[in-house]
Structure 1
Amino acid sequence: MSTVLIVDDEKNYLIVLEDLLMDEGYDVLTASSGAKAIEIIANSPVDTVLSDIKMPGMTGIELLERISALDPDLPVILMTAFAEVDQAVDAMKKGALDHIQKPFDNRDVKRAVARAVERRSLVKNIRHLESELGSVWGNIIGKSKAMENVFTLMKRVADTPTTVLIAGESGTGKELVARGLHKASSRNKSPFVPINCGAVSESLLESELFGYEKGAFTGAASLKQGKFEFADQGTLFLDEVGEMSLNLQVKLLRVLQEHEFQRVGGNKDIRVDVRIIAATNRDLKEEVENNRFRGDLFFRLNVVRIDMPPLRERREDIPFLVAHFLNKFCEKLDRPIKEVHPDVMSALYSYSWPGNVRELENVIERALVLCRGDAIMPEDLPLELRQTPEIEAELDTLVSGEKGLAETLDAIEERIIRQALKNAGNVQAQAAKILGISRSNLQYKLKKYGLLA
């Protein structure tokens, strides 16, 4: 059972709010001052604080600041009179979750407290997961065997100068691993400098990596330091290193061997102490065999290799990732915490995730933006995630020639309409809204497919 602490110097408000929230099933604690509230928080578990702003002694905003120092994850809701709206806005900027205007509507209080309690619960779960994984790895989420292997290897190699190659499909979290390795190393006080080798042209990549001297080429009006110099004493992360041209590979190899380089247009050797972490979504061994990547550079980079598993091979991590992204985007979008409908979780488990964790992150953000109820529903997901095995079977019959295009599309449309009706509780107006068509159009299609009761 969740505990709500009510803070107000007016006894009548304390009594009314205590009765209201106890009727909602919460454990309720009360305090008539900010000082008493701090004492309670220090000695008792509290899930949400509901406090007046204008109180003698410690104000609600001062209480908010004290709570943020004691327990930054504890949600605070502030109650304001009409004339204190500017203070409420200031409080929201300082971290208050919500504000309620006095005299309040009981429904507003219930909604605000329910939202705060849900957020508290979700954040607790996230913190527990992060503590189990080890906070040093930051936002790398996973408890699967595949991710345990990744974490084990990261721990062994993190605080060494060894070059690391991170291999895996796009969206699996290669840069997060690189940042985690840097954070856990003795170089963490120095810069982590990332660069995507496939995002720029060969000439620009050379200038970005090594810098250039004044007058090295048209437009080089002044000396510019490159990424290697910026990363001195720190870590340089070469993302998509397999996209690098053979010409640049030679220059990169020299830095790995000699720990020195020359700027473009220069002839002075510059020594650096940089740890290299590279990442690729290609099979570099195959690239070497096809003469698209230098073998000597491959062996220099491939000292320790970390293979990032695709999401389809670590489906047991999906609930933890969903919880993490829900927390992240609810805060970003200032939305109340949403539940996830079981059909949605089923769809997330069943999907193949070609875009891996990055795609899941985008799906959760999209679903929160589109969600209009208290829970993320199947209709909030992209169409490709809502495609059922039955629809895939219909597509197979089209490819095999058993059915023509029109017949196959009709069969798919009928299944989609059936699912929309199911999700809408057989309310046609709601089903039409889900499908994005008029009610009359829906009724025509119901008649066409014999779905009218």
Structure 2
Amino acid sequence: MAELLIIEDKTSFAEVLKSSLEDAGITCLIARNGREALNIFKREKFEVCLLDLRLPDIDGLDLLRELKSIDDDVQFVIMTAFGTIERAVEAMKLGASDFLTKPFDIEMLIGILKKVLEQKKRYYENLLLKDLAGAFLGIPEIIGKSPKIKDSIELLKKVAPTDTTVLLLGESGTGKELFARACHILSPRKDNPFVPINCAAIPSELLENELFGSEKGAFTGATVRKIGKFELANRGTIFLDEVGDLDLNLQAKILRVLQERTFERLGGTSSIKVDVRIIAASNKDLNLLVKQKVFRDDLFYRLSVFPITIPPLRERKEDIPLLVEHFIRKLKSSKKISESALEKLMNYDWPGNIRELENTIERANILADEIILPEHILLPKKGIADFPLKEMDLKTAGRLGRDMAEAELIKETLIKTNNNKSETARILRVSYKTLLNRITRYRGKGLL
């Protein structure tokens, strides 16, 4: 997709401009008259338009007004002949960014266009930063050496340099957005925007406006034009997180973007063409949603061109020590973790995955003085609902009930004795060794 539309009726001059500008890294299309420019403008999206005010079929100022009515976000640089500078001034009043009097120096034109393009880039970045304030925007680091995570990383490395649509599958907290950012940064689009949006976090009646934007007056309260995420992501990557939560109406519109690379803003009449790579993610079984008729099968097939499954933390526990070390370093902490605390982490199943582990380490880092100990690792205690009672016989259920009661008694006594294990063993009338064995066993089961 071109960044610049050159509207110039003299073919040889237009070709010289196009060649010089593309050598300077600015992609261009040429329109040789006003009507051709209008037709192209309705199909394509440009950042800048280089407009000659003298055209054979339409007055340049009238054309400027029409083009701005189609897309007011495009910046215009005017070319004018000597003696018609007053018309260029009038064009500036209509919203043009700059003007040049023919003949002009090509290097000067390149400088003006690069300045305008840089200003537009900063404008879009500022819009993004309002949404992403505080978000991690650097090069993401995927931590792990387990075979399962290495397989996922290898798939990511293979698909990242392409423009193929990627579907990331995995439970909540496994790092799907981290993978999406890595895919973007390893792609040729890395210098352009990465725009994430959580489809589950925004009510469906507002999500269409967030994704596609809206025109002024499109609905009550729409006092200005809003640029949507797809438009912000032009020439970059959009990350649709929790895509399984999209309603069927929005699924149809996203399918159109995938197929045709076009959409309309809410309240708009003209199609906007975008060059955007789509990375989608879901923690739901999309195959099942397709069978339940709540997810379109044609959208599913379009999104799942290259699926990557990110394993849950319980299936890659050998990565826990590396992740813990990474999180402590990320906190800029000099504290160490004891072997017993690490063992407690290894014995837990992590239903919240890496996000839960990171939160646990941050909390432990606050509680610990110099060494993170098992008592600083605060994990949710398992209740009776967390066990598969339907699969148990009476004897097994009885043992479970006894274990839960013992674990609760040990915990309460440790609190009373300020974590004095010798005194706890004396009160509970067991040996010190037995107490330690019970503590280790119940921590491993998630009861203590």
TM over 0.5: yes
Among residues 369, 377, 380, which one is paired with 1:381 in the alignment? 377
Shift of the 408–174 alpha-carbon distance from structure 1 to 2, 3 Å rule, reads closer
Residue 200 of structure 1 is matched in structure 2 by: 202
1:166 corresponds in structure 2 to 168
Residue matched to 1:145 = 147
Q: What do residues 73-99 of structure 1 show as CA deviations (whole Å, max 9, x unaligned)?
A: xxxxxxxxxxxxxxxxxxxxxxxxxxx
- Among 224, 227, 230, the residue aligned to 1:225: 227
Query: Is the aligned partner of 1:337 residue 2:314?
Result: no
Q: Deviations over 1:173-215 (max 9, x none)?
A: 0000000010011101100000000111112100000000110
CA distance in 2, matches of 1:320, 1:379: 21
State the 1:417 CA deviation.
6.3
Q: In structure 2, what is the equivalent of residue 431 of structure 1?
A: 419
- TM-aligned CA deviation for residue 267 of structure 1: 1.1
Percentage of pairs with the same residue: 49
* SS at 2:270 equivalent: coil
CA offset at residue 447 of structure 1? 6.4
Aligned with residue 349 of structure 2, among 347, 352, 367: 352
Report the alpha carbon displacement of residue 219 of structure 1 after superposing the two structures with TM.
0.1
Shift of 1:401: 5.5
Q: Contact between 2:360 and 2:379, CA under 8 Å: does it hold in 1?
A: no
State the shift of 1:167 in Å.
Answer: 0.3
Match of residue 325, structure 1, among 324, 327, 350: 327
1:138 Cα deviation (Å)?
Answer: 2.6
Structure 1 residue runs of 5 or longer lacking an equivalent are 1-135, 422-427, 435-441
Question: Which of 303, 306, 322 is matched with 1:304 structurally?
Answer: 306
How big is the shift at 1:408? Answer: 6.0
Gaps of 5+ in 2: 1-137, 433-448
Q: Secondary structure at 1:277's aligned position in 2?
A: strand
Q: In 2, Cα distance between the equivalents of 1:288 and 1:357?
A: 28
The separation in 1 between residues aligned to 2:268 and 2:372, in whole angstroms, is 58
Deviation per CA, 1:256-300: give whole Å up to 9, x if none.
000000000111100000000000001111110110100000000
8 Å CA contact retained: 1:137, 1:177: no
Mapped partners of 2:404, 2:181: distance in 1: 47
Deviation at 1:446, TM superposition (A): 6.3
Q: Which amino acid aligns with 2:305?
A: V
Deviation at 1:415, TM superposition (A): 3.6
Q: Pick the aligned partner of 1:265 from 253, 264, 267.
A: 267
CA distance in 2, matches of 1:399, 1:309: 35
Q: Highest Rg: 1 or 2?
A: 2
Partner-residue secondary structure (3-state), 2:398: coil
Separation (CA, whole Å) in 1 of partners of 2:166 and 2:264: 24
Q: How much does 1:384 deviate?
A: 3.3
Distance 1:214 1:299 in 2: 35
Number of residues paired by the alignment?
291
Query: Taking structure 1 as reference, are residues 287 and 399 closer, same or farther at Cα in structure 2, changes over 3 Å only?
Result: farther
Shift in Å at residue 414 of structure 1?
4.0
Query: Is 1:256 the counterpart of 2:258 in the alignment?
Result: yes
Report the 3-state secondary structure (helix = DSSP H, G, I; strand = E; otherwise coil) of the residue aligned with 1:431: coil
SS state at 1:193 partner: strand
> In 2, distance between residues paired with 1:399 and 1:325?
42
Alpha carbons 2:184, 2:194 under 8 Å: kept: yes
Equivalent residue for 2:177? 175
Change (3 A) 1:452 1:350: closer
Structure 1 position 411, deviation (Å): 1.8
**Partners of 1:404 and 1:205 in 2: how far apart?**
47
1:411 counterpart = 2:406:
yes
**Alignment counterpart, residue 450 of structure 1, candidates 423, 429, 445:** 429
Which residue is 2:77 aligned to? none
1:330-370 per-residue CA deviation (whole Å, 9 max, x = no partner) reads x2xxxx41111111111111111101111111110010011
Question: 2:366 — aligned with what?
Answer: 369
Q: Quick one: which of 202, 209, 214 aligns to 2:211?
A: 209
Question: Aligned partners of 1:447, 1:359: CA distance in 2, in Å?
Answer: 36
